[in-house]
Amino acid sequence: MNFYPLVRLLSTEIFKTGTELGAELGISRTAVWKQIQQLEQLGIEIITKPQQGYKLAKSINLFNELLLKQLLIENKSNLDLYLFSSLGSTNVEAKNLLNSPEVKSVLVLTEMQTAGKGRRGRTWQSPFGQNLAITLGAKIDTDISKLQGLSLAIAVELKESLNKFAAIDVGFKWPNDIYVNDKKLCGILVEVAGDFSGPFSLIMGIGLNLKSSSAFNSIDQPYICLDELGIEFDKNLFAIDLAVRLEKMISKFLNKGFQAWQARWNKAHLWKDKQAEVIHSNLSKRVTLKQVNSDGALLVINSEGNEEVINSGEISLRLAE
Ligand code: BTN
pLDDT of residue 218: 65
Give the mean model confidence (pLDDT) for residues 224-253.
96
Is the peptide bond between 5 and the residue preceding it cis, with omega within 30 degrees of 0? no
The pLDDT of residue 13 is 84
Whether cis (ω within 30° of 0) applies to the bond prior to 127 is no
Q: What confidence tens digit (pLDDT) does each residue in 113-123 have?
A: 999 999 888 89
- pLDDT of residue 198 exceeding 70: yes
Pocket lining: 88 vs ligand 1, CB cutoff 6 Å: no
Let me know if 76 is exposed, middle or buried by CB neighbors in 10 A (0-12, 13-18, 19+).
Answer: exposed
Give the HSE-up count for residue 24: Cα atoms under 13 Å, Cβ half-sphere. Answer: 12
Q: Is 257 close to ligand 1, i.e. is its CB under 6 Å away?
A: no
Q: What is the pLDDT of residues 138-194, one digit of tens each?
A: 999 998 999 999 999 999 999 999 999 999 999 999 988 999 999 999 999 999 999
Mean pLDDT of 70-96: 97
The CB of 137 under 6 Å from ligand 1? The reply is: no
CA 151 – CA 261 distance, rounded (Å): 11
Q: Looking at the chain, list the stretches that DSSP marks H as alpha helix, in order from N- to C-terminal side.
A: 4-10, 18-25, 29-41, 65-74, 90-97, 150-165, 235-256, 259-267
Closest residue to atom 2 of ligand 1, CA basis: 118
Amino acid 217: pLDDT: 64
Nearest-atom number in ligand 1 for the CA of 120 is 2
Ligand 1 atom nearest to 207, measured from its CA = 9
106-111-131 Cα angle (round to 5): 100
Question: What spacing in Å lies between the alpha carbon of 124 and ligand 1's midpoint?
Answer: 6
Please check the confidence at residue 215 and state whether its pLDDT lies above 70. no
Is the pLDDT assigned to residue 214 strictly greater than 70? no
Q: Compute the C-alpha angle 48/54/60, nearest 5°.
A: 110
Pocket of ligand 1 contains residue 205 by CB under 6 Å: yes
pLDDT at 57 over 70: yes
Pocket of ligand 1 contains residue 171 by CB under 6 Å:
no
Return the number of other C-beta atoms located less than 10 Å from residue 229's C-beta: 15
The 10s digit of each residue's pLDDT in 282-320 is 788 899 999 999 999 999 999 999 999 998 766 778 888
Q: If you measure from the C-alpha of residue 87 to the centroid of ligand 1, how many angstroms do you get, rounded to a whole number?
A: 13
Question: How are strands ordered across the β-sheet holding 183-194?
Answer: 80-84, 105-110, 131-140, 200-209, 183-194, 177-180, 171-173
> From CA 53, how far away is CA 86, in angstroms rounded?
25
| Share above pLDDT 70 across residues of the chain, in percent, rounded to a whole number | 97
Span from the CA of 192 to the centroid of ligand 1 (angstroms): 14
Across the chain, mean pLDDT equals 92
Average pLDDT of the segment spanning 80-89? 95
Q: Which atom of ligand 1 is nearest to the CA of 117?
A: 14
